[in-house]
Amino acid sequence: MTPIAVLISGTGRLLQELIDRSQAGELPVKIALVISSSPSAYGLERAAQAGIPTAVVSTRTEGSEARRDEKICLLLERCGAQAVVLAGYLAYFRYPQQLTNRVLNIHPALLPGFGGKGLWGHHVHEAVLKSGVKVSGCTVHLVDEHYDHGPIVLQRTCPVLDDDTPDTLAARVFQEERLALPQAVRLLVEKRLVVEGRRVKQLPAQ
Ligand code: GRF
């Protein structure tokens, strides 16, 4: 069971997906720590109910982004996390060298479209609807030095319907995210991801 840490900022629905699959023995991970950027994130409650240690770390608690990220790295080291999952984490995470290609983020659109600063949550789906595209979905990617930019691990798609609102589209995208994130976490902890520049290839299951 690979120890991982999950970073959140909000309701933690994706965190709950990882907790459920881990507890059901479907995902070979132990969630060793949940770190939230917000003290009021419901995801903290979800972690506590699952008996998972939690911490709240933000620029407000630490005083600066640099000290925030240092504190996160310290907590990651202490809990022995071998991989980190950003699941609805709204800040940028400056990861330590030893976690290169071991930090995953999920974005509720098909990157590189509809990503980057300011495009999070419903803002993403508003931009998708405004653009007139007929397909949306989600992207799980490795985190690099830029926001929503790292090499793409996997994507799942869903239709954009004529009568969609940001909320109905978000709900349809979320049904794909629930499948994409655990699958990407599995690939990462099973060491089945091969990063070649901007390409991430998958090794077959052993
Ligand atoms: C997801 O839509 C994800 O793509 C985005 O945050 C949302 C998950 O929020 N990064 P949560 O898991 O309900 O907190």
Paired residues of 152 in beta bridges: 141
Q: How far is the CA of 88 from the centre of ligand 1 (A)?
A: 4
Q: Name the residue with the closest Cα to ligand 1, atom 5.
A: 88
pLDDT band at 117 (very low <50, low <70, confident <90, very high): confident
CB 34 within 8 A of CB 53: yes
Tell me the pLDDT tens digit for each residue of 151-177: 999 999 999 999 999 999 999 999 999
Q: How far is the CA of 90 from the centre of ligand 1 (A)?
A: 9
Regarding the beta carbon of 115 and ligand 1, being less than 6 Å apart is answered: no
Residue 187: CB atoms within 10 Å: 19
User: Is it the case that residue 206 has pLDDT exceeding 90?
Assistant: no
Q: Name the residue with the closest Cα to ligand 1, atom 8.
A: 88
Which of 32, 35, 87, 74 shows the shortest CA–CA distance to 58?
Answer: 35
In residues, how long is the chain? Answer: 206
d(CA 65, CA 42) in angstroms, rounded, equals: 23
* 83-86/2-8 β-pairing: parallel
Per-residue model confidence (pLDDT) at position 170: 98
Per-residue model confidence (pLDDT) at position 13: 98
Tell me the pLDDT tens digit for each residue of 42-86: 999 999 999 999 999 999 999 999 999 999 999 999 999 999 999
